[in-house]
Amino acid sequence: MSFPSSGLVSSSRDDTVTRHDAPPKQPPPGVVLDKDGKPCRTCTSSAAWMAMMKSSTGKTTKPVVPITTPASDCPPDVEELGRSTWTLLHSIAATYPENAPPETQSITKQFISTFSKLYPCWVCADDFRAWMAKPGNEPKVKGQEELGQWMCQAHNVVNVKLGKPEFNCNLWKQRWKDGWDDGRCD
C-alpha cells in the first residue's frame, strides 16, 4: 500500500528478504521488480508500466488510451489497487460493530493479518506488515471507533510516504460511514 524506496530488494511471500550479490539490473523509473526480478505489474503505476512497454518495443507512437487512464478491463495498477483496497478497509471499519464481541475481534485481527500476507503488491504488503509489527501499531479492533481511527492512521502513514496530504481522522465517520455534514452525500 505504499511504494518501495528501491527495486533492489527482492522478497518472498514468507517474509524472507534476499539481497543479491551481483547488482541487479535497474528497472526503469517507477517500475518495481517482483521477487523473481521481473517487473511487477501490481506494484507499478500504469503510467510507468506503459512507459516501460513503450521503451522496450522501441515504438514512439502515442498509446491509444492516455497513460493516466488505463482501460477498465486491464489489470489494476498500484494506484487503482490502493484506492480500491482503502475503500474496502474503511468500509469494513464503518460497518464494524460499535462494541465487537471477542470472536469478531479475533476474526478481524486474523483477517488483517491474512490480508497483509496476500495483498497483491508484495512491497506494499511487506511495508504494511512491518508497520503493524512496531509497538502501538497492532490492529485496534475493540469497536467501530477504534478500528476506524486505526485504519485512518494506517492510511495516513501510507499517504505521508507517497507525499500525499494526511486525512483528518476526526472526520473518518463522515467520509466512510455517515456522509459529509454539508449533505452532498444525501
Count Cβ atoms below 10 Å from residue 20 Cβ, excluding itself.
Answer: 10
Where along the chain do its domains lie?
Answer: 28-58, 78-177
* Whether 122 contacts 34, CB under 8 Å: yes
Pick the CATH number of 78-177 from 3.30.70.150, 3.30.56.10, 3.40.1380.10, 1.20.120.310: 1.20.120.310
pLDDT at 62: 46
3-state SS class at 168: coil
Q: What is the pLDDT along the chain (186 residues), one digit of tens a residue?
A: 544 433 333 344 444 444 444 445 677 777 777 777 777 666 666 676 677 777 765 554 444 444 455 667 888 888 889 999 999 999 999 999 999 999 999 999 999 999 999 999 898 999 999 999 999 999 999 999 999 999 999 999 999 988 999 999 999 999 999 999 999 988
C-alpha cell at 75: 489489470
The 3-class SS string of 7-36 reads CCCEECCCCCEECCCCCCCCCCCCCCECCC
Report if pTM > 0.85: no
